[in-house]
Amino acid sequence: MGDSLMITAENQRFVAPTHWEAQIFAHNPIFARLAALLPLAQSAEFPSLATLNQWFGQFQPQMAVSFVDNEQLNADGRYYEEFIFATGKVPTRSENWHDLFGALIWCLFPKSKMALNQRHQQEIGLHGKAQRSPVRHRLTLLDECGVLLCYRAEAADIVQQLKSHQWQQAMFINRDSWLGQAPQLEPMIFGHAIYEMATRPYLGLTAKLWPMLVPAEFSDWPLLQRIAFIDEQLSVQISNNSLAEFQQQLTPLPLLGVPGWYAENCQQGFYLNTDYFRPKREIRESK
């Protein structure tokens, strides 16, 4: 990816492309997995609701979930999460990047998306919906910004390096562990807002890390089998995790530092930008 697609002003707000741009899926490696599974790079326009529902049926033929025009939610009057929980229908704005990626995550990780919805409902039942509870805040971070890092046991040290903000060690010195036919670490984007912002990648683009231990043979499985395995495991964690466990998982991940996802990170100097690759703050103990 070249600088022409980057936001360079430090305080400029992200703005998604105003029109459909199929070349994003053809040339941006962050979208390689989506492009391998869906004909997005060949599409001449935003996928319609009918197309999204067709894709969902192809991937998840046993699940009763559908995408509907967002006007149904507006007419219904219920809260977004309540509407999905009660109807199995996901309100979706047409020609909208954010909602497109939300729908695609539903297609690939439906059990996890349903678990998020059910956990939101549980929290609303406990605390009301006027203000998000701490657990709901974490659920939203995962839903919008989560990157699932599938790692084999031998890469556990690299996961700890990421959590400790040892960015050069984790992402450059150990970059071979991320690449090749049988990587020890495989990142999967779960947060649809991260996909949206990756349409115009910029220095500062930061996700939330959610490490997931996988079997040694994980990288030998077909892609859809890997995704289905992660979906099952993640849905269980979403349903059962405590607030402390959510907090331990969701640590910063500078997205453009992921090996193979951005051309400039093949140079070690890329990771010297401490405004982006920030050191971990020291927590002072109170006396």
The tens digit of pLDDT for each residue in 127-162 reads: 887 788 999 999 999 999 999 999 999 999 999 999
Long-range contacts of 65-73 (CB under 8 A, 24+ apart): 65/89, 65/90, 65/106, 65/110, 65/114, 66/90, 67/92, 67/103, 67/106, 68/92, 69/94, 70/99
pLDDT of res. 7:
40
Q: Compute the average pLDDT of residues 190-215.
A: 97
The per-residue pLDDT for range 162-193, each reduced to its tens digit, is: 999 999 999 999 999 999 888 999 999 999 99
So what's the pLDDT on residue 6? 41
Which tokens in the block code for residue 77? 């009057």
What is the residue type of 283? I
Q: Average pLDDT in the 255-261 region?
A: 97
Q: How high is the pLDDT of residue 141?
A: 96
Q: How many residues does the chain have?
A: 287
pLDDT of 4 higher than 50: no
Does residue 9 register a pLDDT over 60?
no
Which string of DSSP letters, residue by residue, matches 164-220?
TT-HIIIIIITGGGTSSSS-SEEEEE--HHHHHHHTS--TT-EEEEEEEE--TTGGG
- pLDDT, tens only, 19-28: 999 999 999 9
Q: Is the pLDDT of residue 47 over 80?
A: yes
Task: Name the residue with higher pLDDT: 148 or 15.
Answer: 148
Please say if the pLDDT value at position 287 is more than 90.
no
Q: Indicate the average pLDDT of the chain.
A: 92
C-alpha distances in Å from residue 86, one per residue of 5, 14, 80, 81: 41, 33, 10, 9
Report the pLDDT value the prediction gives residue 181, as an integer from 0 to 100.
Answer: 84
Q: Which two tokens stand for residue 162?
A: 């990421």
d(CA 213, CA 198): 25
Sign of CA dihedral 118, 102, 4, 180: positive
- Summarised one tens digit per residue, pLDDT across range 98-122 is 999 999 999 999 999 999 999 999 9
How far apart CA 190 and CA 209 sit, in angstroms, is 10
Element (H, E) at 104: helix 97-108
Bridge-based pairing of strands 206-213 and 251-254 is antiparallel
* Calpha distance 169→161 (Å, rounded): 7
Confidence of residue 286 (pLDDT cuts 50, 70, 90): very low
Domain residue limits, the chain: 18-272
Looking at residue 284, its pLDDT comes to: 54
What's the pLDDT at 256? 98
* Paired residues of 39 in beta bridges: none
* DSSP SS3 for 157: helix
The mean pLDDT value for 236-261 works out to 95
